[in-house]
Amino acid sequence: MTTETTTKDTAPGASVPGERVLDARGVTMRFGGLTAVRGVDLTVNSGEIVGLIGPNGAGKTTFFNCLTGLYVPTEGEVRYKGNVLPPKSFKVTAAGIARTFQNIRLFANMTVLENVLVGRHTRTKEGFWSAVLRGPGFHRAEAASRARAMELLEFVGLDSKAEHLARNLPYGEQRKLEIARALASEPGLLLLDEPTAGMNPQETRATEELVFAIRDMGIAVLVIEHDMRFIFNLCDRVAVLVQGEKLIEGDSATVQGDERVVAAYLGEPFEGAPGAAEAAEVAEAEATAAEADATASKADATAAGATTADAEAATADADADTTTDAAPGKENDR
Ligand SMILES: Nc1ncnc2c1ncn2[C@@H]1O[C@H](COP(=O)(O)OP(=O)(O)OP(=O)(O)O)[C@@H](O)[C@H]1O
């Protein structure tokens, strides 16, 4: 295991200020006929907190999965600190990208401390025999690792619960533990997938402070979140995904003030919206079909009208005939 110790001021994975940490270009992910992410470019620099927002199903988590090696993008390239990322999640973690998940993924029956120690395995340098023989090197490394894990638990405010089982933590603390575990891999970039989901306003506010503190340690952050207040308070830049495409990217004020973003969230069509060309084609085809239907119905109605008129004329003729025929009868009656 690594024996490096750190202060809480600078994380071991910290990057040079302003360094381009993440560079995703033209990332496309298709599932059969469905294009979940289409040609997305996104960069994150050291010292930045970048937000990724978009309506449900916009492709945000799929994009995260492409960044972390869970999915191999159908097209495009993802670089971390200039190097193309290997398409395996443990290698991506080892390279320096850590993440949390939308649905909490902790080891429920392990203690809080053990969960963080698991997060340190990518930084473990001790081999199999060292672990089996448990020599002095192993014990030193293990002690250093536990010390670092406790430091991270203190950082997120869970040090007093180190020996609790993860499953006994309240929901908000489980989310914090996930963050501590992600930090245990000493990342340079942390990806947070809906870190405040299910939290009350106080917990959300505390998470905001925590993310600022992580950024201040030199770790860049990319965060997906539906809580707009959280995002716009927190982020230096925000990118908006709509139907798998990046609609706009900018600072909070720019994104908040863009009426296309509001329209996308409300599900209203707007000019140039991702998928709008296809939607317009469908609408046009539907309109043409509806028009053709209407014309056909009119023709039917006209034909039906003619038939009725014919029938009426025939009835009138028949009546006339009956009258004519009856006349003799009347005569006969007389
Ligand atoms: N493994 C998969 N196989 C097939 N389709 C998928 C898969 N993963 C995601 N999708 C589809 O891709 C689209 C984008 O989904 P994704 O979960 O990335 O959206 P999201 O923006 O994260 O949504 P939410 O905000 O609801 O979490 C959706 O239509 C989804 O059904």
Give the tens place of pLDDT for each residue, 72-113: 999 999 999 999 988 888 889 988 999 998 888 889 889 999
Determine whether the shortest distance from the Cβ of 62 to ligand 1 is under 6 A: yes
Of the two residues 133 and 141, the one the predictor is more confident about is 141
Tokens of 123: 């930084």
Is residue 185 in contact with ligand 1, taking CB distance under 6 Å? no
Q: What percent of the chain has pLDDT over 90?
A: 51
Look over the chain and give the mean of its residue pLDDT values, rounded to a whole number.
81
Residue 223 CA to residue 245 CA, distance in Å, equals 17
Ligand 1 pocket, 59 CB below 6 A? yes
pLDDT of residue 22: 96
First and final C-alpha spacing in the chain? 128
Give the residue from 12, 102, 91, 116 showing the smallest Cα distance to 57. Answer: 102
Of residues 5 and 45, the one with the higher pLDDT is 45
Checking if the pLDDT of 146 tops 80, the result is yes
The residues spanned by each domain of the chain are 20-111+169-273, 275-334
User: Measured from the CA of 71, which atom of ligand 1 is nearest?
Assistant: 1
Q: Residue 141 above 50 pLDDT?
A: yes
Q: Quick one: pLDDT at residue 334?
A: 33
- How much distance in Å is there from the Cα of 62 to the middle of ligand 1? 6
Lowest pLDDT segment from 113-117, 271-275, 322-326: 322-326
Given a cut of 80, whether residue 320 has pLDDT beyond it is no
What average pLDDT does this structure show over 157-180? Answer: 94
For 20-111+169-273, CATH gives 3.40.50.300
To test ligand 1's pocket by mutation, which of 35, 53, 61, 223 has the most ligand atoms within 8 angstroms of CB?
61
Going by C-alpha positions, the residue among 60, 65, 68, 61 that lies closest to residue 85 is 68
- Closest atom of ligand 1 to 54 CA is 21
Task: Look at 202 and 131; give whichever has higher pLDDT.
Answer: 202
- Closest protein CA for atom 18 of ligand 1: 59
Nearest CA to ligand 1 atom 31: 57
Which residue has its alpha carbon closest to ligand 1 atom 28? 57
Q: State whether the beta carbon of 54 lies less than 6 angstroms from ligand 1.
A: yes
Q: How far is CA 108 from CA 168, 184, 185, 257, 317, in A?
A: 8, 18, 19, 42, 91
The arithmetic mean of pLDDT across residues 283-289, rounded, is: 77
Greatest mean pLDDT among 50-54, 92-96, 169-173, 328-332 lies in 50-54
On the question of pLDDT at 190 being above 60, the answer is yes
| Residue 192 Cβ contacting ligand 1 at under 6 Å | no
Q: Where are the beta strands (DSSP E) in 231-320?
A: 237-242, 245-250
Give CA–CA dist 194/277, Å, rounded: 31
209-256 residue pLDDT tens: 999 999 999 999 999 999 999 999 999 999 999 999 999 999 999 998
- For residue 196 and ligand 1, the question of a CB distance below 6 A is answered with no
The CA distances from residue 76 to 41, 80, 84, 264, in Å, are 9, 14, 11, 25
